[in-house]
Amino acid sequence: MLLLAHRGASADAPENTLDAFVEAARQGADGVELDAMVCGSGEVVVCHDEKLDRLARKPWEVRVTPWWKLQRADVGSPLGFAPARIPRLEEVLEALPAHFLINIELKCDRFDDGGLAEKVADLVRRRGLSERVVVSSFNPLCLFRLAAAAPELRRGFLIDPDKPWGVQAYGVSPLVSSHSVHPFHEACTPERVTAWRAAGLRVAAWTVDDPGRAQALEAMGISYLITNRPGAVRQALRAAA
């Protein structure tokens, strides 16, 4: 089971920033999970929220705000950390260690993704990272577009716990998932994990900071555990082994 740092080591550094990804490497994570969206000037930026109220105490909507302006937002201090800025995906891909697995979540809940899937595919291809990247999304249209743009890239459908389980797990996921399925950890049961694995899919469970739950999921046979605290979870798993 590989440990992926959720938005970087986001318990100890501001989420989705270069600081958080550096901290994830320092804590011994096997990779990272991060969020990608297109900003107002067309760059792919690493950010989870559509608006920056929580992250920067600014009412800016990322998809209509140009990159030059987004750079002025401090997304560290409002979360209780040192000042930090939103990075571009290209910067993050360049900064991550060569061995890291990278789970890129496409953040878009609209029909039109503004070219997000194609732009991410181009960035991953240009950097030769296809074998280290898994692309996930709650939006199946993004994954359809990714499959058309770069069929070799590994895709995984994110299952929303607030939407009907059966439609997502048994209807949508088989159509768009080529590599993995990404359920909320509470939706993982031994029977479901066994069925997914029998179908040739890896399971990426999110978001788990409790060592006991991490141990249970590892015993079920999940492939990726997404956690805010990769160092602490790793230490706990080793102690229990």
pTM of model > 0.95: yes
The sign one gets for the Cα dihedral 143, 127, 228, 72 is negative
Q: How many CB atoms lie within 10 A of CB 103?
A: 26
Task: Pick the closest to residue 155 from 133, 184, 122, 185 (CA basis).
Answer: 133
How far apart (Å, rounded) are the C-alpha atoms in residues 131 and 149? 16
Strands 31-38 and 44-46, bridge-based pairing: antiparallel
Give the pLDDT confidence of 165-202 residue by residue, as tens digits: 999 999 999 999 999 999 999 999 999 999 999 999 99
Of the candidates 202, 209, 166, the one whose C-alpha atom is nearest the C-alpha of residue 187 is: 166
Q: What are phi and psi of 12, to 5 degrees?
A: -120, 0
Provide CB contacts within 8 A for 116, sequence distance 6+: 36, 37, 38, 44, 106, 107, 108, 142
Domain boundaries, the chain: 2-240
Residue 225 corresponds to which tokens in the numbers above? 């555990």
CB 180 within 8 A of CB 158: no
Question: Which secondary structure element, helix H or strand E, spans residue 33, and what is its range?
Answer: strand 31-38
Predicted confidence (pLDDT) per residue in 135-148, tens digit: 999 999 999 999 99
On the question of pLDDT at 97 being above 80, the answer is yes
The yes-or-no verdict on residue 241 having pLDDT over 90 is no
On whether the 2-240 domain is CATH 1.10.287.3510, my answer is no
DSSP category for residue 214: H
